[in-house]
Structure 1
Amino acid sequence: MNDFLSTIDTPALLLDLNKMDANIKDIVRFAENAGVNLRPHLKTHKSIKIARCLLEAGAIGVTVAKVGEAEVMVAGGINDILIAFPVAQRTKLARVKKLQEKAKITVAVDSMEQATLLHEFFKNGEPLNVWIKVNSGLNRVGVEPNEEVVELAKHINNLTALCLNGIFTHAGHSYAATSPEQIEKIANEEAETVLKSVKLCEEAGINIKHRSIGSTPTFKIAGAIKGITEIRPGNAVFYDMIQVGLGIATQKQCALTVLASVVSKKSDRMVIDAGSKTLALDQGAHGNSSITGHGYIIGYPELVIERLSEEHGIIPLKHEVDLKLNDRITIIPNHACVVANLFDTYLVYQNGKVIDEWKVDARGKLK
C-alpha cells in the first residue's frame, strides 16, 4: 500500500490526477482527429474544477442532466450548457430563464406538448435554444427517427420563442452490450439515428447545425462517422468497472477509486466501512452483466464485495488473506457516476501524494 493512504480517514473518494489528465487528453485527441466538438457530460463528476480541466483541454461547452447542475456550473463561470433532459415544469423554466442572463443555455425537447410549454414561457424574452432528442434504442426519452422527428421539428420551427439548432441522442443501452461487435452495432445505429433525423428535417426545409452523440462505450465509433459534429462522453473522464467489463478501458485507466478500511474480520468474512452509501448498489447500468460484486479490490482480485448494507461492505473469506483490522483497501467502483454523487469531496493525488481536495459541487442537485 502507498504510505500516503494510511493517513487518510475512510471511506474516502480518491482521484488520480495523472490518470484523469491522460483520459481527458485521449478524449480530446479523438475529437480533434475526428473533427468533432467535445461537450462532455458532467453528471459523472459534478465538479467545477474538472469541468474547467475539460474546457481548458478543448471542450466547447458542457452537458448536464438537471437544471440544478446547470446552476452550479454557471455560478462556476461556465457559459455554454446543454441541459440534456426534457424540462417542462414552470418552476424549472423560471430558473432556466435566469440562467440565460449569464450563459448560453440549450434545453432538450422530445414532444410537441413540451415545446408549446417552452414557447409560452419564453415568448416575452430571449428565445430559447432547443435540441430535439431522438431515441436510438435506449427507449427512455426521445422521439422516433421517422416522421415523428419531422413533425416535432416543424412544430418547433413555428414557435417564435424557440430556436431549433440541434438533434442529439444517447445510446445508453450500449452499457448492456455483451461484445465489442454489439457495441459497434449500437454505435453505428446511434450515429445513423441522428443523421437520418437530420436528413428528414433538412428535406422538410429545416436546417440542423448540431448533430450530437453521447455514451462513453460508443463515442469513438459513432463520433467518427461523417456528419456527426459533436460527442458528449461523461464517464470517460474517470472510467470504472462497467467500462472495464465492456472492454472500453483497462483497470489502469480508472482514475476514481474508493479507499476503505477493514473494520471487522471473522473466520468466514471481512467487513469494510464502505456500504451502499459509499459504493452504491449499481452493479451495472442498463443491465451490464460483466460485474462481480460491488467494486473491484485492487491487489486482491480473489476477494468479492458480495453484499452491502448502508455502512458495511461484506467480503466472504474462503481462505486466509493478509489483511487485518484497520488495514486499507482501494476499490474501483462499478459505476463512477453514482459513487461520486455520494461524496462531498475528491481527495486529489499525484505521484503518491495528496495535492488538493476538490468539491463535488453539484452533488445532490437532482431538481
Structure 2
Amino acid sequence: MMAATSLAEYLIYIPADEGRKVYIDPSLIPTFTECVDPTTDAGRKIANDIHHKLSSDATGTQSGQAVGDAAEFYMDIGNIGERCVRVFYRIVQAESAQASKGPGVYVHNIHRVLSNGRKVDVGLFHMKANGLTWTDEKVSTRELTTKVLRLGSMADNGGLIELSQLSTQMLKASSQATDKTDFNLYHCPLSVSSEGNDYATPEARHRIVNPAELADVLINTASLGEWSGRHYDAYTVYCYADASKLLEGALAIVKRKNVSLEKFSFSIIAPYSPFSFINRLANDCGATSTLESGFISSASQLHQNFDPASLSSTAISTCKAYSDQLEVRSDISFLELWKGMGSAAKLPELG
C-alpha cells in the first residue's frame, strides 16, 4: 500500500480511441510485473484484456461492486488455474472528474487470483503440532490465543495448500523448521482479499478477508489486560510474501485509531511491498519491525528495488530511473513506462 497517488497523476494504460479510457497508478509497476508479467503468452493476453474489458464493460455483470461506494469495482481477468488477476478500479464520471485525468476507469491495485479447489478456509486459526503435521482449530474471536502470529498463504498447481503444509513451509522460511510451539495462523490469500471493502460479487464466492479484520485482531489483542488471563507480555508476528500488503492496510487502520502496539514485533519475510512502508507504519503504532535476510524471492526483491527509502544502490537507481521517465515524457503510457523500466529495475524483458 504505497502512498495514495492522485488520480491526476495516473497514466493512460494503453492509448486508444474507442471505449472508456483506462488509467492506472504508475506506482503499480512492480505489482503489475509480479501479477501480470507480459513476458509470457498468458501475461501478454491479460495485459491486453485489462484494457479491452475495462474500456468496454467495467460496470458489467462480471464485475464486483463495492457496497456503499457506487464508483468502486473489481474484475477478475484471466483463467483460474492458468493466470488470473483481480483488478481493482474506480469509475470517474464526467460530473465528478475534477482532480483526475477526466472520465474513465482508474486502476489502483492488482492482485493475483489462485484457485481454491481444496476449499481451504481463511481467517484466524490456532495451530498445534501433531507429530510431523499441524492441526488447526478455527478461532471464533478476533484476538490471538498464542504469543506468535503468522500471516500468509501459499499455492501449488492444485491451488491453495492445506494449513498443515502451509505451517511447515512458513516455519522453514523463518529458519524454525524444528519448532513445535503452538501459534496462531492468519490465512490470508490475496486471491480472496476484498481490498478493504465489501463487494457485491457477480457470483457466490468463499468468505473474504480484509485489512479491517486483521486490524481488529491486533487491536483486540493489544487491549487484553492482565485481568483477562489471555494476554502475553510480548507478541511476535511473522509476515510472509504478499501478506505484507494486507498487513500494511491493517497497520494503517490501527494507526488511524491511535492504538498502541508496543507489545508487538513484526518479522517480515520476503515482502511483496517495500519494507520501509511497513516499518514506518509499525513504528508509528509503537511496534518494532525487522526485514529478515535469510530468504528473499525475486518478486520480493522487485518490490524492494522500488523502495524510495532504501539505501541500496539498486533501489536508488531504480527509483531515479522511474522518476526520470515520468519527468521526460508527460504523455507516456503505463506500458511504455513498464518497458522503459526493464534494465533499470531488473524487470523481465518484454518478449
Global fold match (TM > 0.5) = no
Alignment TM class, shorter chain as reference: under 0.3
TM-score by length of 2: 0.24
TM-score by length of 1: 0.23
The structure number with the bigger radius of gyration is: 1
